[in-house]
Chain A
Amino acid sequence: QVQLQESGPGLVKPSETLSLICAVSGYSINSGYYWGWIRQPPGKGLEWIGTIYHNGNTYYNPSLKSRVTLSVDTSKNHFSLKLNSVTAADTAVYYCARDHYGAYPFDYWGQGTLVTVSS
């Protein structure tokens, strides 16, 4: 069974960088598939942030592209999200998920982690 678990600071100061890790178990990232990040601001819907392939190729939501960096560490079987210059609008529950990319779905999701941007 594929399982994903997000981890990282729950509180980030405005203008700083939000950093999260998604640990994958039950599947080797090196075996393939894409791996994505999605967020949900309080009281709002889901927003795709970006997706990374196991070889490191990245695909970003154009609305966030200038501030997002995704990376993958196959030796640790995890992938990471960095979002810089955060503001209160970046406060959200952040989810990681296995992605089939494009019009194909996210089939396994993590439980999500709340990140609050506040001084």
Chain B
Amino acid sequence: QSVLTQPPSVSAAPGQKVTISCSGSSSNIEYNYVSWYQHLPGTAPKLLIYENNKRPSGIPDRFSASKSGTSATLGITGLQTGDEADYYCGTWDSSLSAKVFGTGTKVNVL
């Protein structure tokens, strides 16, 4: 079972905005960088965000992220059908001495 909790799913219409929360603790999110990944089943997961809010080259600015205390948030604006995927947060857990991932959130574009 994951130490990082995400909502199972979020939905919005094309063009709208969704936010995905990632809730952790002082042993993980609060004092460590958070990353976000997009995963379409059957494909390689893609890094969207690293070091809490930085985008790798090629990731559009429709994707943004922030962190506050023991929680992190991913936002997607201008939602597109191609954004339908599973999204995972990830970080390091100092108590477990392990890289950990969130439970995952399915984004549905209505």
> Using a CB–CB distance below 8 Å, which chain A residues touch chain B?
4, 36, 38, 45-48, 51, 61-63, 95, 97, 99-100, 102-107, 109-112
Contacts and interface: CB of A to CB of B under 8 A. Distances in A.
B60 interface: no
A43 B31 CA distance: 30
Interface in B19-58: 32-35, 37, 39, 42-47, 50-51, 56
B49 to A, nearest CB: 8
5 contacts: A45-B103, A103-B91, A106-B47, A107-B56, A109-B44
B44 A110 contact: yes
Interface residues of B, number: 29
A100 B35 CA distance: 11
Contacts, number: 66
Nearest to A63: B98
A68 B35 CA distance: 25
Contacts of A4: 44
A70 to B, nearest CB: 14
Contacts of A109: 44-46
Nearest to B103: A45
Given A61-B98, A62-B97, A103-B91, A46 B44 contact: no
Given A103-B33, A107-B56, A48 B98 contact: yes
B91 A48 contact: no
Given A45-B101, A61-B98, A62-B98, A105 B35 contact: yes
